[in-house]
Amino acid sequence: MFRRRKSEATSLASWNNTETTRAIKAFVEATTTEGSADFLQVKDRIAVFDQDGCLWVEQPAYSQAVFSIAHIRRLAPQHPDWASHELIRKVLADDAVGQATLDELSEADWAEILFVAYAGITQDEFADAARDWLETAKHPKWDRLYTDLVYEPMGELLDFLREKQFKTFICSGGGQDFIRVYAEDVYGFAPHEIIGTSIATYYATGASAPEVVRLPKLGFYNDKEGKPLGIDRFIGQRPAIAIGNSNSDRQMIEWTASGGGPSLVAIVYHDDAEREFGYGPAGGLREPGHGAFDQDFHDWLTENGHPVISMKNDWKRLFAFE
Instruction: Specify the residue, 229 or 320, whose C-beta has the smaller distance to its own copies.
Output: 229
Closest CA to 120 of 52, 215, 33, 56: 215
Closest CA to 122 of 210, 222, 221: 210
CB 192 within 8 A of CB 167: no
DSSP-based three-state secondary structure for 37? coil
Give residues 263-322 in contact with its own copies (rule: CB under 8 A). Answer: none
Instruction: Specify the residue, 138 or 192, whose C-beta has the smaller distance to its own copies.
Output: 192
Count interface residues toward its own copies (CB under 8 A).
35
**Shortest distance, position 249 Cβ to its own copies, whole Å:** 13
CB 278 within 8 A of CB 243: no
CA distances from 175 to 129, 194, 204, 263 (A): 14, 10, 22, 27
* Cα gap 109→87, rounded to integer Å: 7
Instruction: Specify the residue, 105 or 121, whose C-beta has the smaller distance to its own copies.
Output: 121
Instruction: Specify the residue, 48 or 61, whose C-beta has the smaller distance to its own copies.
Output: 48
Instruction: Specify the residue, 99 or 251, whose C-beta has the smaller distance to its own copies.
Output: 251
**Shortest distance, position 77 Cβ to its own copies, whole Å:** 30
The verdict on 43 binding its own copies (CB under 8 A) reads yes
Closest CA to 294 of 246, 228, 242, 244: 246
**Shortest distance, position 231 Cβ to its own copies, whole Å:** 9
Instruction: Specify the residue, 176 or 246, whose C-beta has the smaller distance to its own copies.
Output: 176
* Cα gap 206→83, rounded to integer Å: 32
* Cα gap 208→204, rounded to integer Å: 9
Binding mask 187-226 for its own copies (x = CB under 8 A): ---xxx-x---x--xxx-x---xx-x------x-----x-
Count of CB atoms situated within 10 Å of the CB of 219: 14
* Cα gap 306→231, rounded to integer Å: 21
**Shortest distance, position 158 Cβ to its own copies, whole Å:** 16
**Shortest distance, position 1 Cβ to its own copies, whole Å:** 14
Q: Pick the stretch among 143-151, 249-257, 269-277, 299-307 that binds its own copies (CB under 8 A).
A: 249-257
The verdict on 5 binding its own copies (CB under 8 A) reads no
Instruction: Specify the residue, 64 or 176, whose C-beta has the smaller distance to its own copies.
Output: 176
Pairing mode of beta strands 46-49, 167-175 = parallel
The sign of the dihedral angle between the CA atoms of 169, 245, 318, 95 is positive
Q: Give the one residue of 59, 99, 176, 247 binding its own copies; rule: CB under 8 A.
A: 176
Give residues 118-137 in contact with its own copies (rule: CB under 8 A). Answer: 123
**CB half-sphere exposure, 287, CA atoms < 13 A:** 6
Q: What is the DSSP letter of 225?
A: T
**Shortest distance, position 106 Cβ to its own copies, whole Å:** 22
CB 34 within 8 A of CB 154: no
Q: Pick the stretch among 57-65, 95-103, 235-243, 293-301 that binds its own copies (CB under 8 A).
A: 235-243
Q: What is the DSSP letter of 41?
A: -
The verdict on 165 binding its own copies (CB under 8 A) reads no
Q: Which residues bind its own copies (CB under 8 A)?
A: 43, 123, 167, 169, 176-177, 180, 184, 190-192, 194, 198, 201-203, 205, 209-210, 212, 219, 225, 228-229, 232-237, 251, 254-255, 258, 260
